[in-house]
Structure 1
Amino acid sequence: MNDLTKAEEQVMQIVWDLKETAVRDVVSRFPDPKPAYTTVATVMNALDKKGFVNKVSAGKSHLFSVKISKEDYSGFKAGSLVKNYFNGSFSSMASFFAKDNKLSIQELEEMIEIAKKQIEKEK
Protein backbone atom coordinates (compact mmCIF):
# COMPACT_ATOMS: atom_id res chain seq x y z
CA MET A 1 0.00 0.00 0.00
CA ASN A 2 1.23 3.50 -0.82
CA ASP A 3 1.13 6.59 1.36
CA LEU A 4 -1.34 9.30 0.40
CA THR A 5 -0.26 12.87 -0.25
CA LYS A 6 -1.95 15.58 1.82
CA ALA A 7 -4.30 16.43 -1.06
CA GLU A 8 -5.12 12.77 -1.67
CA GLU A 9 -5.84 12.24 2.00
CA GLN A 10 -8.19 15.26 2.08
CA VAL A 11 -10.12 13.87 -0.87
CA MET A 12 -10.13 10.32 0.51
CA GLN A 13 -11.62 11.53 3.81
CA ILE A 14 -14.61 12.75 1.80
CA VAL A 15 -14.78 9.63 -0.38
CA TRP A 16 -14.68 7.41 2.72
CA ASP A 17 -17.65 9.35 4.13
CA LEU A 18 -19.65 9.17 0.90
CA LYS A 19 -18.67 5.58 -0.09
CA GLU A 20 -19.52 6.28 -3.76
CA THR A 21 -19.35 9.72 -5.31
CA ALA A 22 -18.74 11.95 -8.30
CA VAL A 23 -16.10 14.67 -8.47
CA ARG A 24 -18.69 17.46 -8.14
CA ASP A 25 -19.95 15.97 -4.87
CA VAL A 26 -16.43 15.87 -3.44
CA VAL A 27 -15.84 19.50 -4.47
CA SER A 28 -19.09 20.52 -2.77
CA ARG A 29 -17.89 19.03 0.55
CA PHE A 30 -14.82 21.27 0.72
CA PRO A 31 -15.05 24.52 2.70
CA ASP A 32 -14.82 27.83 0.86
CA PRO A 33 -12.80 28.67 -1.08
CA LYS A 34 -13.46 25.37 -2.83
CA PRO A 35 -10.75 23.77 -4.95
CA ALA A 36 -11.19 23.72 -8.71
CA TYR A 37 -13.17 20.83 -10.17
CA THR A 38 -10.20 19.90 -12.38
CA THR A 39 -7.86 19.78 -9.38
CA VAL A 40 -10.15 17.39 -7.49
CA ALA A 41 -10.65 15.29 -10.65
CA THR A 42 -6.87 15.00 -11.05
CA VAL A 43 -6.48 13.87 -7.43
CA MET A 44 -9.31 11.35 -7.76
CA ASN A 45 -7.75 9.92 -10.92
CA ALA A 46 -4.46 9.57 -9.02
CA LEU A 47 -6.33 7.74 -6.25
CA ASP A 48 -7.74 5.39 -8.89
CA LYS A 49 -4.24 4.69 -10.22
CA LYS A 50 -2.96 4.06 -6.67
CA GLY A 51 -5.81 1.60 -6.10
CA PHE A 52 -7.64 3.51 -3.37
CA VAL A 53 -10.84 3.98 -5.39
CA ASN A 54 -12.64 2.29 -8.26
CA LYS A 55 -13.59 4.52 -11.19
CA VAL A 56 -16.64 3.63 -13.28
CA SER A 57 -18.09 5.55 -16.21
CA ALA A 58 -21.57 6.94 -15.56
CA GLY A 59 -22.75 8.76 -18.66
CA LYS A 60 -20.56 11.80 -19.25
CA SER A 61 -19.02 11.64 -15.78
CA HIS A 62 -17.47 9.03 -13.51
CA LEU A 63 -18.41 7.51 -10.19
CA PHE A 64 -15.68 6.72 -7.69
CA SER A 65 -16.12 4.16 -4.92
CA VAL A 66 -13.92 3.14 -2.01
CA LYS A 67 -11.53 0.29 -2.72
CA ILE A 68 -9.27 0.57 0.34
CA SER A 69 -11.16 1.19 3.58
CA LYS A 70 -10.30 3.93 6.01
CA GLU A 71 -9.63 1.25 8.63
CA ASP A 72 -7.14 -0.56 6.39
CA TYR A 73 -5.31 2.68 5.59
CA SER A 74 -5.31 3.72 9.27
CA GLY A 75 -3.78 0.37 10.17
CA PHE A 76 -1.14 0.78 7.47
CA LYS A 77 -0.24 4.24 8.76
CA ALA A 78 -0.15 3.10 12.40
CA GLY A 79 2.07 0.16 11.49
CA SER A 80 4.38 2.44 9.52
CA LEU A 81 4.55 4.86 12.44
CA VAL A 82 5.64 2.13 14.85
CA LYS A 83 8.07 0.61 12.38
CA ASN A 84 9.66 3.86 11.14
CA TYR A 85 9.70 6.03 14.26
CA PHE A 86 9.71 3.63 17.19
CA ASN A 87 11.90 0.80 15.83
CA GLY A 88 8.93 -1.54 15.88
CA SER A 89 8.47 -1.06 19.63
CA PHE A 90 4.84 -0.75 20.70
CA SER A 91 5.89 0.16 24.24
CA SER A 92 8.04 3.04 22.97
CA MET A 93 5.14 4.34 20.91
CA ALA A 94 2.69 3.97 23.79
CA SER A 95 5.07 5.72 26.17
CA PHE A 96 5.56 8.60 23.73
CA PHE A 97 1.84 9.15 23.20
CA ALA A 98 1.01 8.71 26.87
CA LYS A 99 3.53 11.40 27.87
CA ASP A 100 2.95 13.95 25.11
CA ASN A 101 -0.74 13.54 24.33
CA LYS A 102 -2.20 12.28 27.58
CA LEU A 103 -4.09 9.46 25.89
CA SER A 104 -6.25 7.10 27.91
CA ILE A 105 -5.27 3.47 28.46
CA GLN A 106 -8.11 2.40 26.15
CA GLU A 107 -6.89 4.72 23.36
CA LEU A 108 -3.34 3.40 23.72
CA GLU A 109 -4.54 -0.20 23.62
CA GLU A 110 -6.57 0.49 20.48
CA MET A 111 -3.53 2.06 18.77
CA ILE A 112 -1.37 -0.91 19.70
CA GLU A 113 -3.93 -3.41 18.36
CA ILE A 114 -4.20 -1.55 15.04
CA ALA A 115 -0.43 -1.40 14.69
CA LYS A 116 0.00 -5.09 15.57
CA LYS A 117 -2.56 -6.14 12.99
CA GLN A 118 -0.89 -4.09 10.27
CA ILE A 119 2.58 -5.37 11.05
CA GLU A 120 1.23 -8.93 10.87
CA LYS A 121 -0.27 -8.17 7.44
CA GLU A 122 3.11 -6.88 6.21
CA LYS A 123 4.95 -10.10 7.19
Structure 2
Amino acid sequence: MAKASRRIELTKCESEVMDIVWEKECVTVNDVVDAIDRDLAYTTVLTTMRILEDKKIVHRGKKIGRAYTYTPLISRQQAREGSLKALADQFFGGSTRSLVLSMVNSKGVTPEDIQAMKDEIAKIEESS
Protein backbone atom coordinates (compact mmCIF):
# COMPACT_ATOMS: atom_id res chain seq x y z
CA MET A 1 0.00 0.00 0.00
CA ALA A 2 1.06 3.60 -0.56
CA LYS A 3 2.63 5.79 2.11
CA ALA A 4 0.16 7.71 4.27
CA SER A 5 1.86 11.03 3.46
CA ARG A 6 1.03 10.74 -0.25
CA ARG A 7 -1.81 13.02 -1.34
CA ILE A 8 -4.60 10.98 -2.89
CA GLU A 9 -7.61 12.58 -4.51
CA LEU A 10 -10.31 10.74 -6.42
CA THR A 11 -13.02 12.07 -8.72
CA LYS A 12 -16.57 10.80 -8.20
CA CYS A 13 -16.21 8.28 -11.04
CA GLU A 14 -12.80 7.12 -9.79
CA SER A 15 -14.28 6.67 -6.32
CA GLU A 16 -17.16 4.58 -7.67
CA VAL A 17 -14.73 2.35 -9.57
CA MET A 18 -12.42 2.06 -6.56
CA ASP A 19 -15.32 0.99 -4.31
CA ILE A 20 -15.62 -2.10 -6.52
CA VAL A 21 -11.86 -2.66 -6.70
CA TRP A 22 -11.60 -2.49 -2.88
CA GLU A 23 -14.60 -4.79 -2.45
CA LYS A 24 -13.45 -7.45 -4.92
CA GLU A 25 -9.67 -6.91 -4.47
CA CYS A 26 -8.89 -8.06 -8.02
CA VAL A 27 -11.04 -7.05 -10.99
CA THR A 28 -11.20 -6.72 -14.74
CA VAL A 29 -12.85 -3.78 -16.47
CA ASN A 30 -15.86 -6.01 -17.22
CA ASP A 31 -16.13 -6.89 -13.51
CA VAL A 32 -16.43 -3.18 -12.73
CA VAL A 33 -18.93 -2.52 -15.54
CA ASP A 34 -21.09 -5.41 -14.27
CA ALA A 35 -20.89 -4.34 -10.60
CA ILE A 36 -21.23 -0.56 -10.79
CA ASP A 37 -24.56 0.95 -9.72
CA ARG A 38 -25.09 2.99 -12.89
CA ASP A 39 -24.65 2.51 -16.62
CA LEU A 40 -21.07 3.25 -17.57
CA ALA A 41 -19.60 2.32 -20.93
CA TYR A 42 -16.77 -0.20 -21.02
CA THR A 43 -14.53 2.49 -22.55
CA THR A 44 -15.33 4.91 -19.71
CA VAL A 45 -14.36 2.34 -17.10
CA LEU A 46 -11.23 1.38 -19.07
CA THR A 47 -10.17 5.03 -19.28
CA THR A 48 -10.84 5.45 -15.55
CA MET A 49 -8.73 2.37 -14.77
CA ARG A 50 -5.88 3.77 -16.86
CA ILE A 51 -6.08 7.09 -15.01
CA LEU A 52 -6.07 5.24 -11.67
CA GLU A 53 -3.05 3.26 -12.86
CA ASP A 54 -1.24 6.48 -13.87
CA LYS A 55 -2.02 7.92 -10.42
CA LYS A 56 -0.57 4.73 -8.86
CA ILE A 57 -3.87 3.94 -7.17
CA VAL A 58 -4.33 0.57 -8.91
CA HIS A 59 -1.87 -1.94 -10.31
CA ARG A 60 -2.48 -3.55 -13.68
CA GLY A 61 -1.64 -7.22 -13.29
CA LYS A 62 -1.79 -10.35 -15.36
CA LYS A 63 -4.07 -10.93 -18.29
CA ILE A 64 -7.02 -13.28 -18.04
CA GLY A 65 -7.96 -13.99 -21.64
CA ARG A 66 -7.91 -10.58 -23.29
CA ALA A 67 -8.54 -8.59 -20.10
CA TYR A 68 -6.03 -7.28 -17.58
CA THR A 69 -6.66 -7.59 -13.87
CA TYR A 70 -6.41 -4.62 -11.52
CA THR A 71 -5.67 -4.59 -7.78
CA PRO A 72 -5.65 -1.66 -5.33
CA LEU A 73 -2.35 -0.02 -4.37
CA ILE A 74 -3.95 2.17 -1.70
CA SER A 75 -6.47 1.51 1.04
CA ARG A 76 -9.92 3.04 1.27
CA GLN A 77 -8.70 4.85 4.42
CA GLN A 78 -5.80 6.45 2.54
CA ALA A 79 -8.25 7.72 -0.09
CA ARG A 80 -10.56 9.10 2.59
CA GLU A 81 -7.69 10.91 4.30
CA GLY A 82 -6.60 12.41 0.97
CA SER A 83 -10.11 13.62 0.21
CA LEU A 84 -10.51 15.14 3.67
CA LYS A 85 -7.16 16.92 3.31
CA ALA A 86 -8.22 18.27 -0.10
CA LEU A 87 -11.54 19.45 1.36
CA ALA A 88 -9.77 21.16 4.26
CA ASP A 89 -7.35 22.83 1.85
CA GLN A 90 -10.07 23.95 -0.57
CA PHE A 91 -12.63 25.33 1.88
CA PHE A 92 -10.91 25.78 5.25
CA GLY A 93 -7.43 27.10 4.49
CA GLY A 94 -5.93 23.70 5.30
CA SER A 95 -7.39 23.69 8.82
CA THR A 96 -8.68 20.27 9.82
CA ARG A 97 -10.03 21.85 13.00
CA SER A 98 -12.19 24.26 11.00
CA LEU A 99 -13.43 21.40 8.84
CA VAL A 100 -14.43 19.30 11.86
CA LEU A 101 -16.04 22.24 13.67
CA SER A 102 -17.99 23.13 10.54
CA MET A 103 -19.24 19.54 10.30
CA VAL A 104 -20.23 19.44 13.97
CA ASN A 105 -22.12 22.72 13.62
CA SER A 106 -23.93 21.73 10.43
CA LYS A 107 -27.62 20.93 10.43
CA GLY A 108 -26.99 17.44 9.04
CA VAL A 109 -25.21 16.20 12.18
CA THR A 110 -27.45 14.26 14.55
CA PRO A 111 -27.03 13.81 18.30
CA GLU A 112 -26.06 10.20 17.51
CA ASP A 113 -23.29 11.48 15.20
CA ILE A 114 -21.98 13.74 17.96
CA GLN A 115 -22.03 10.85 20.45
CA ALA A 116 -20.11 8.66 17.99
CA MET A 117 -17.51 11.44 17.63
CA LYS A 118 -17.22 11.72 21.42
CA ASP A 119 -16.73 7.96 21.67
CA GLU A 120 -13.97 8.02 19.05
CA ILE A 121 -12.27 10.94 20.77
CA ALA A 122 -12.38 9.07 24.08
CA LYS A 123 -10.73 6.04 22.45
CA ILE A 124 -7.98 8.23 21.01
CA GLU A 125 -7.40 9.92 24.37
CA GLU A 126 -7.22 6.56 26.16
CA SER A 127 -4.61 5.21 23.75
CA SER A 128 -2.42 8.35 23.94
How would you bin the TM-score normalised by the shorter chain? 0.7 to 0.9
* Structure-2 residue corresponding to 1:12: 18
Query: Gaps spanning 5+ residues in structure 1: where?
Result: 112-123
SS at match of 1:51: coil
The answer as to 2:48 corresponding to 1:55 is no
Q: Which of 96, 99, 113 is the aligned partner of 2:102?
A: 96
Q: Distance in 2 between matches of 1:52 and 1:91?
A: 28
RMSD between superposed Cα atoms in Å: 2.3
* Structure-2 residue corresponding to 1:107: 117
Work out which structure has the larger RCO, using CA pairs closer than 8 Å and 6 or more positions apart in sequence.
2
Structure 1 stretches of at least 4 aligned residues deviating more than 6 Å after TM superposition: none
> Is 1:94–1:108's contact at 8 Å kept on the other side of the alignment?
no
* Structure-2 residue corresponding to 1:120: none
Q: CA deviation at 1:2?
A: 4.3
> When the two structures are superposed, what TM-score results if normalisation uses the length of structure 2?
0.72
Q: Distance in 2 between matches of 1:78 and 1:92?
A: 12
SS at match of 1:104: helix
The answer as to 2:76 corresponding to 1:66 is no
Q: Which of 82, 92, 97 is the aligned partner of 1:86?
A: 92
- Give the count of matched residue pairs: 110
Letter in 2 for 1:61: A
> When the two structures are superposed, what TM-score results if normalisation uses the length of structure 1?
0.75
Query: Gaps spanning 5+ residues in structure 2: where?
Result: 1-6, 122-128
Q: Distance in 1 between matches of 2:54 and 2:97?
A: 36
Q: Which structure's residues are more often helix, by fraction?
A: 1
> Is 2:8–2:78's contact at 8 Å kept on the other side of the alignment?
no
Give the % identical residues. Answer: 29
